[in-house]
Amino acid sequence: MIGIDWGTSSLRAYRVDEQGDCTDKRDAALGIMQVGKDTSFPAALESVVGDWLAAGETQIIMSGMIGSRQGWLEVPYVQCPVTEREISEGRREVTWSGLRATIVPGLACRGPSGVVDVMRGEETQIIGAMPGLGDGEHLVCLPGTHSKWLVLRNRRFVSFTTHMTGELYALLKQHSILGRLMTDAAAPATQLNEYFDKGVERAREPGGLLHHLFGVRAEGLFGKLPHEAASDYLSGLLIGHEIVSVQPPARIIIPLLGAAALTARYVRALTDLGYRPRTLDEDCAMRGLYRLCTGKGTRI
């Protein structure tokens, strides 16, 4: 089986045997935005896994933005609350050159005010993580450019919210006056200084995000925020505001699923705010793809 986690900026491919063991995996900078400009989706896919196809692999399942309006085929969203089986039933097929693949649908839900929220790709990661999460209720955080907070209840997707924290961080650093005071990129997660923690703590104070953001500049002008620490402070401030806005219940364990470096920042911020974070395997997407394709568990 070939599983494809195909996002906006990259493509991750997994080759999985009948027992659920991942025998090979590959990454390529062939996200849907790059492919749409330069080549076709079938050609891009074959450039990454063509030798697997030549070796006889016939089962292909894909998830992520490849099923969006800008992707290979727009696959309709499945409305929450929803089960894994209902997600699987929402798959759609694409064919080319005698080959075929199925694409996993994304999820949609409406918040208390009636505003729609959507996700594509994260649902497959969560399906892969479900055996380790078990029954009961869970609030799962998926850090990313657009972070997700998802409520699971007895393995049923109940609701979720999206937060543009990562994208806002990049925009403010690159295109706002705040970036002019930042002399270096943010430090690696393992080397975060106390200014990241100060940003997280600031998010708990009154005044609101828009006021707090200008404080990044003002504190820098008066020498209270070193220029080399400003990006870490901004990171802590934005992640802190995200967590505070979600208002997780006290004393719960919060599973985190995402890229290691960014997830480490959320671990630190959650710990600063008194929560108990727990990191999950970032290759859960492979497990989810295998489950949706075969209905079986996986090993990696």
DSSP strands (E only) in 7-87: 11-16, 22-28, 60-64, 78-79
Q: Is 73 helix (H, G, I), strand (E, B) or coil?
A: coil
Q: What is the pTM of this model?
A: 0.91
The structural domains of the chain, ordered by start, are: 76-91+105-300 (3.30.420.310)
CA dist 253 and 200 (Å) reads 19
Q: What is the pLDDT of residue 295?
A: 82
**Rounded (10°) CA dihedral 186, 142, 116, 109:** 180
DSSP strands (E only) in the chain: 2-6, 11-16, 22-28, 60-64, 78-79, 92-96, 99-103, 107-110, 116-119, 137-142, 147-153, 156-163, 253-256, 276-279
pLDDT tens, residue by residue, 68-109: 999 999 999 999 999 999 999 999 999 999 999 999 999 999
CA dist 114 and 139 (Å) reads 21
Q: Is 255 helix (H, G, I), strand (E, B) or coil?
A: strand
206 contact partners, CB below 8 Å, separation of at least 6: none
- From first to last of the 300 residues of the chain, give the pLDDT tens digit: 999 999 988 999 999 998 888 999 999 999 998 896 667 999 999 999 999 999 999 999 999 999 999 999 999 999 999 999 999 999 999 999 999 999 999 999 999 999 999 999 999 999 999 999 989 999 999 999 999 999 999 999 999 999 999 999 999 999 999 998 887 655 555 556 799 999 999 999 999 999 999 999 999 999 999 988 999 999 999 999 999 999 999 889 999 999 999 999 999 999 999 999 999 987 899 999 999 999 875 444
- Decide if 92 contacts 73 (C-beta within 8 A): yes
- Decide if 196 contacts 232 (C-beta within 8 A): yes
Q: How far apart are the first and last CA of the chain?
A: 14
Amino acid at position 26, single letter:
R
Q: What is the pLDDT of residue 296?
A: 73
